Amino acid sequence: MSATPANADRTGAASTSPEFVGADAAGAAPEVEPPTATVSSHVLDAATGRPAAGVRLTLLRRDGDGAYTEVRTGSTDDDGRVAAWRTEPGVHRLRFETGAWFAARGTDTFYPEVEVAFTVGDGHHHVPLLLSPFAYSTYRGS
C-alpha cells in the first residue's frame, strides 16, 4: 500500500495549497496550521439526469484588496464531483467552465461559464450546480 502525500485531497490528487512555508536553518520545513475550511461540488446535467463528468472548475478566494486569487483548479470526476478542496475562510468564487463542457458534447449553451460567489467559514461547504444548456441553479449543500 502506498502512502498518500500530506498535501493530497481525498481523491489522492496533490493539492496546490502548500503544507509548509519557509524552512529553518537545517532546511526542515516548519509545521503550518492547515486551512480550516473545505469546499466541494457536485455538477448534475439536469437535461439528461446524469452527472456532469469532466467539467473544469476553479476555486478563487478574495484577498484583502478585493482581488481574487486562484486556490485550486480541477475537473469533476465520473460522478460529477470534486472532492473537498482545502481553503481559508472568506469570500470565494467557484467558476464552472460550462461552455467548453457543452461544446465537447456538441450542445449550444447560453452560459459559457457559471460563477458562484459565496462566503466560507470554518468547516465544510458544498456547492452543487444543476446545469442545462439554458439554465442553472445552485444552493448550499451539505
DSSP 2-35: PPPPTTB-TTSPBPSS-S--S--TTSPPPP-PPP
Task: Give the pLDDT of residue 36.
Answer: 80
Task: Return the DSSP state at 14.
Answer: B
Task: Give the pLDDT of residue 42.
Answer: 98
Task: Give the pLDDT of residue 33.
Answer: 62
CA proximity to 43, closest of 114, 108, 106:
114
Q: Lowest mean pLDDT: which of 2-11, 95-104, 118-127?
A: 2-11
pTM: 0.75
